[in-house]
Amino acid sequence: MGTVSSARVDAMSRIRTAALAVVGAMLVASAASAGSPVALVEDVNGNPPGVEIMDYLETGTVVQLGARQTMVLSYLNSCVRETMTGATVRVGAEQSEVLSGKVERSKVRCDTGKASLTGELAIQVAGRAFRSVTPVHEAPAPKSQQPTIYGLSPMLEVRTPGVLTIERIDEPSEAYALYIDGDQLVRGGYYDFARWGRALVAGATYRAISGSDETVFKVDPEAKPGRVPVVSRLVRLPH
């Protein structure tokens, strides 16, 4: 069998190099598309296809809104909040690329880094009562790992119905437990304190326990009451 010419070897080498470059680009694109969520769907109107309230969207996700359909999207890293109507929306890293339609943007307070309640909270909540339980006195998470919310009424992740225990840990106090039914949860996984007209204490630090999951979070001293943007008051459990 004859030897392969140097020209043919060079051509094969170039083809191999080009193929590796294409594969590398595909892997990079795949990694980017599989990245962490960057935006939260806070509200939708008109049932746009493919999105629901409390969906987390990744960079590059495209949402097509009809002429009368509206979506409120908040970015977790930039705290940019967008209200878009009748637009084609492509999710970016810090804000959306919006084609046609209408978009209104604002900047809100949110945490980009990452309990006995008051007597008022110990009363009936949607037919269920907070019940006093023994406080948990384990050491809280380091302050650098504690998310901060800027609304007095958190949107708290609760993965399954059951008992939610909340303890204020920055000063001596009781802890309370609330039994939560599935129909009290937003999208089946979030308990909205604002929905039930309840508020925590500005400047306080809390531990929340749901099943085997728990998290520690702080309420900003200047936190606002009521239904402030969800991204400003969202508390997620560690995954």
Q: Which domain holds residue 78?
A: 39-107
- What is the percent of the chain where pLDDT is above 70? 71
Confidence grade of residue 147 (pLDDT, cut at 50, 70, 90): very high
Looking at the fold, whether 216 and 128 belong to one and the same domain comes out as yes
Residue 200 lies inside a defined structural domain of this protein: yes
Which of 181, 234, 207, 209 minimizes the C-alpha distance to 56?
Answer: 234
124 plus 84 within the same structural domain: no
Establish if 178 belongs to a structural domain: yes
Q: Which residues on neighbouring strands pair with residue 43, listed in sequence order?
A: 72
- Section 120-135 average pLDDT: 38
- Helix (H) / strand (E) containing 14: helix 6-33
For the chain, count helices (H), then strands (E).
2, 19
pLDDT at 112: 85
Which pLDDT value is given to residue 224? 96
Higher pLDDT, 92 or 6: 92
**Least confident stretch, 70-74, 137-141, 162-166:** 137-141
* Structural domains in the chain (count): 2
Same domain, 98 and 127: no
Q: What is the mean pLDDT of residues 212-237?
A: 94
The predicted model scores a pTM of: 0.72
pLDDT in tens, 7-31: 554 544 454 444 333 333 333 333 3
pLDDT at 113 over 70: no
- Longest Cα pair distance anywhere in the chain, in angstroms? 92
Q: Judge whether residue 123 has pLDDT over 90.
A: no
Distance CA 130, CA 55 (A): 29
Distance of alpha carbon 41 from the chain centroid: 9
- How far CA 73 is from CA of 18, 65, 115, 128, in Å, comes to 40, 13, 31, 32
Q: Is residue 26 part of a domain?
A: no
Instruction: Answer yes or no: do 225 and 205 share one domain.
Output: yes
Residue 30 lies in a domain: no
Whether residue 145 is found in the same domain as residue 194: yes
136 and 173 both lie in a single domain: yes
Question: Does any domain span residue 85?
Answer: yes
Is 53 domain-assigned? yes
Of the residues 107, 128, 155, which one is the last residue of a structural domain? 107
| Ramachandran angles phi, psi of 74, nearest 5° | -120, 135
- The residue ranges of DSSP E strands in the chain, in sequence order, are 39-45, 56-57, 62-64, 70-75, 80-85, 88-90, 97-99, 102-107, 124-125, 128-129, 131-133, 148-151, 155-157, 162-168, 175-180, 190-192, 205-210, 213-224, 234-235
- Give residue 43's pLDDT: 96
SS3 (DSSP) at 17: helix
pLDDT in the model for residue 131: 42
- Does 70 fall in a domain? yes
Average pLDDT over residues 48-73: 95
| Residues 123 and 102 placed together within one structural domain of the fold | no
Confidence check: pLDDT of 89 > 90: yes
Give the pLDDT confidence score for residue 118 in this predicted structure.
Answer: 31
- Residue type for position 117: L
pLDDT digits (tens, 9 = 90+) for 176-201: 898 999 999 998 899 999 998 889 99
Same domain, 124 and 230: yes
